[in-house]
């Protein structure tokens, strides 16, 4: 491939490409919970589309693709994601399965989710659905372990996307996003560790690592991470995020928040901030600091992605600007 061809592809492809299942999200209105509610709000959910919306709001160039059902829910979600400034040119509305559904409630301060995604259009994703030139023209490919949990075909699709990225010199970001309602830890462990070994940036949570490496010992976990070829960014420390490199570990403190409203989507917001930092050529500590800030802003609003800030809001937060009401 010539340099001219590569340049043309990069003009046609967003800087960041991600893919996976996005689902219609139903939330009961009020505090009764699902069983006793008669009214529900409709939104969307999906780690990868959350991340894409986050990067777009921060001013980044990003594309999301996946398979949605050719149904009212799928059409609505496609329009919502596109409306946030995300390129959806490779996403598909399919008639071989419905759009997946997730119903979420918060009762007594605890969040619970219920999936209705078996045999969804997204679960039927296969390697031949990938556009190799689209992936190969990006600077970063972001994938998660959620897609791998949907089906054997989806797992192979993720593997093939990573292979394409590696061949084309595209950096791979991998968030394991372990979901034990979708598969067991015994099923997940070999797949997620395989992808961690392929990633340039591995973005796990500390609790996930304890399950994947079968140890509570932090030093043992660090030693395993340092065997990986890439850099590991470990979310979920007590008061800080860890950066694990071959030659050592550094930490970046969290931003303090006055009130936690909803923790769902915080990890996706962090990843959006971190990758945006990479796009802006920040060093790792600066990129993690931006990720920490985005995560802290997300948890102060209800919703999976609604609290993701714009770059102007980030600048205002960092600059200590006060809100003028009127």
Q: What are the catalytic residues?
A: 268
Phi, psi of 219 (to 5 degrees): -65, -35
What are the C-alpha distances in Å from 277 to residues 49, 280, 294? 18, 5, 11
Residues 6+ apart with CB under 8 A from 154: 122, 123, 125, 147, 148
* Structural element, H or E, at residue 102: strand 101-107
CA distance 280 to 275: 9
Other CB atoms within 10 A of residue 285 CB: 14
First to last CA, the chain: 57
């Amino acid at each position: 491939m010539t340099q001219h061809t590569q340049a043309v592809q990069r003009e046609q492809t967003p800087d960041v490409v991600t893919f996976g299942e996005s689902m219609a999200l139903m939330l009961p209105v009020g505090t009764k919970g699902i069983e006793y509610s008669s009214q529900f709000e409709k939104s969307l959910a999906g780690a990868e589309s959350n991340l894409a919306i986050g990067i777009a709001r921060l001013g980044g160039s990003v594309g999301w693709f996946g398979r949605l059902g050719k149904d009212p829910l799928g059409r609505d979600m496609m329009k919502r994601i596109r409306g946030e400034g995300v390129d959806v040119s490779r996403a598909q509305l399919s008639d071989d399965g419905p759009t997946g559904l997730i119903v979420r409630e918060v009762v007594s301060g605890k969040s619970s989710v219920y999936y209705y995604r078996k045999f969804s259009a997204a679960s039927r994703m296969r390697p031949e659905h990938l556009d190799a030139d689209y992936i190969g023209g990006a600077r970063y490919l972001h994938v998660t372990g959620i897609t791998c949990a949907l089906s054997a075909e989806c797992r192979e699709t993720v593997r093939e996307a990573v292979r394409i990225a590696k061949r084309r010199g595209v950096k791979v970001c991998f968030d394991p996003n372990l979901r034990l309602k979708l598969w067991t830890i015994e099923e997940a462990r070999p797949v997620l560790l395989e992808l961690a070994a392929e990633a340039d940036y591995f973005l796990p949570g500390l609790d996930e690592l304890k399950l994947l490496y079968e140890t509570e010992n932090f030093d043992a976990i660090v030693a395993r991470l340092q065997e990986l070829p890439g850099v590991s960014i470990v979310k979920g420390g007590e008061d800080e995020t860890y950066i694990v490199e071959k030659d050592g570990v550094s930490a970046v403190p969290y931003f303090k928040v006055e009130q936690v409203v909803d923790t769902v989507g915080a990890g996706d917001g962090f990843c959006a901030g971190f990758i945006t930092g990479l796009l802006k050529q920040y060093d790792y500590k600066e990129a993690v600091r931006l990720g920490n800030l985005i995560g802290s802003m997300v948890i102060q609003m209800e919703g999976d992605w609604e609290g993701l800030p714009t770059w102007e809001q980030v600048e205002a937060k960092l600059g200590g600007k006060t809100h003028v009401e009127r």
